[in-house]
Structure 1
Amino acid sequence: MDAWIAEFRLSITRALAEQLATTLNPLSPAILGPAALSKVDARPGVYVLFVAWKRVYVGKAASNLRTRLEQHYRKLSGRTGITMSDVRFTCVYVDEDLDAAAPEKLLIKKYRLDDTIPWNTNGFGNKDPGRNRDRSVVKAQHFDALYTIDLGYQLSVPFTVWSVADLLDWLKRELPYLLRYENKNKSHLTELKHTRIELPDIELTAAELLIATIDALSPGWQATALPGYVILYKEETSYDSALLWWSRKDHGTALETRGPQRFDAGEVEMADQGDLLE
């Protein structure tokens, strides 16, 4: 091309990414907790999570930034290997009209040039993988392998007498990680509904509540702690990546078995990389 001729290409997405980064970068990260979250409006926006001042995740909230960040706070508070005072965030309110431009993906693309957002590709944003994937071997670099669930998480149980079904339903709502249990087999569901369980009037850990549940049910039930969630079914199964499981045979008490805790090398698969990449 001649020296006096040039070609101009307008990149709206590049300009948007630069403007978002320019707005976010000067902000001072606040500790991810109730005090700072109470000041976040229920508006659409994008946000950045930091651990020990290092940027680890970029996300978006299509309608409510506070709710989305509260979900992250809840999830992270139930993990090992993370000190919540080290987790911080910044956020920017974004006009709803920009949602179609996927502003968080523009930021992800920009920040990846510095390889500074590992949680965007390690499964941090995952939902329930489903029963068919419970037996999958978790990658060593997956979020769930790096920060396994905290079975010592304490809960204040509001009642001392429950049906097992009601207790599991309450636990499913209160635990900061997924609890999935039998919901199809009619005879098993009937047992959960009609089995009575009594608990002491004190704070109990997630592990203690799961053990009490296995003790209350008939032999053959198993509660399995996988790296990122807990499942409870009537089965005798060894899961390769399980942390541990509790089961009961005959009429004894719940027996704890250490899981294989097998984690595979290699990159986290695209299907496991979280909601931002779906």
Structure 2
Amino acid sequence: MTPTVGFTNGTRYHKDFTLSITKALGDQLAAALEGLGRAPLTEESIAHLDEKPGVYQLYLNGEFVYVGKADKSLPARLRNHLRKISGRRDISLSQMAFSCLYVAEDFSALAPEQLLISHHKGMGNIPWNNNGFGNKDPGRQRDSTVLKRNHFDVLFPIDLDRPVDGLHQGEATLHEFLEMIKAGLPYNFRYGKAPEFKTRRVRVPAAGSTADEVFQSLSVAIPAPWQVTALMGYVIMYDDSPATYKSAWRYYRDGRRISAVPEAEPAGAVEVDPPTLAD
């Protein structure tokens, strides 16, 4: 049988047509963001935003590095990033800027941040997407992971010289002290629990104490074999001393600060859990 070629009397009368609506939307979103100015990533700038859902882009030293979305509140999502970056070394909030678009809730079902990611990846790489920046706590199963050299936590490790907010010098239960530390840090502090933590009394360091000082004090208060471990992107506390972690760069045991050299894989595709983009 001769296949149909779509011609009659030298004129083609049918062919396939593909309409790429998603690409068109991604291009329009990118163009709209590109047409906006950029504001410093500061509380003052964020305070002027409406409590609406939307998409946003982050810039480091003027260079585009990240695209994300907020399902409910752009200000809340941007404040999360502001707080996270404030607790990192080798980067400053003064280097950061953002632009954003409010997006109607019915449009959110189209995953506008994915449209933007596809648009920008078609033009090159997006440095902070899929390198761990947007993730929250990766969970216990990731604590021993060896990170890639281009992972956000390797490029910009947590700052242990930063003061812990909200400390009130005096006595507290160990449970209360742990909660105080967790609330006062701009990076995650995950710890195991034990019944005695709610009855054991400890001394809380003075206001203005750094995370390093607080963790040294905490390591004196926790019973053996508990230890505090500073990984590249967060801090953990479990009853596993003297266990070691491949991404650790500091341990706290019995009031001692023990330095370590974290391992890192060559730069490349970063295997991370899917980023949490909820507010």
1:154: Cα distance to partner?
A: 0.9
1:237 pairs with 243, 252, 261, which one?
A: 243
More helix by share: 1
Please list every run of 5 or more consecutive structure 1 residues that lacks an aligned counterpart in the other structure.
184-188, 249-253
Residue 84 of structure 2 corresponds to 75
Residue identity matched to 2:76: T
Deviations, residues 47-73 of structure 1 (Å, cap 9, x unaligned): 000000000000001111111111111
2:188 pairs with 154, 178, 182, which one?
A: 178
Please list every run of 5 or more consecutive structure 2 residues that lacks an aligned counterpart in the other structure.
1-5
**Partners of 1:7 and 1:219 in 2: how far apart?**
71
Q: Does 1:24 align with 2:33?
A: yes
Q: Does 1:139 align with 2:148?
A: yes
Matches within 5 A, 1:46-195: 46-156=55-165, 157-183=167-193, 189-195=194-200
3-state SS, counterpart of residue 129 of structure 2: helix
Aligned-pair identity (%): 39
Rate the CA distance shift 1:4–1:178 in 2: closer, same or farther, 3 A: farther
Deviations, residues 18-45 of structure 1 (Å, cap 9, x unaligned): 2111210021111111000001111010
1:77: Cα distance to partner?
A: 0.6
Q: Does 1:264 align with 2:268?
A: no
1:266: Cα distance to partner?
A: 4.5
Residue 186 of structure 1 corresponds to none
Aligned pair count reads 266
RMSD (CA atoms): 1.9
Contact 1:55 1:116 in 2 (8 A): no
1:229: Cα distance to partner?
A: 0.5
Normalising by the residue count of structure 2, what TM-score does the alignment of the two structures yield?
A: 0.89
3-state SS, counterpart of residue 133 of structure 2: coil
Contact 1:126 1:274 in 2 (8 A): yes
3-state SS, counterpart of residue 198 of structure 1: strand
Rate the CA distance shift 1:270–1:136 in 2: closer, same or farther, 3 A: closer
Rate the CA distance shift 1:257–1:38 in 2: closer, same or farther, 3 A: same
* Greater Cα offset, 156-165 or 35-44: 156-165
Contact 1:135 1:239 in 2 (8 A): yes
Rate the CA distance shift 1:115–1:273 in 2: closer, same or farther, 3 A: farther
3-state SS, counterpart of residue 59 of structure 1: strand
* Greater Cα offset, 122-131 or 194-203: 194-203
Q: Does 1:212 align with 2:213?
A: no
Q: Does 1:199 align with 2:194?
A: no
Deviations, residues 170-203 of structure 1 (Å, cap 9, x unaligned): 22122111111113xxxxx133222222234331
Rg larger in 1 or in 2? 2
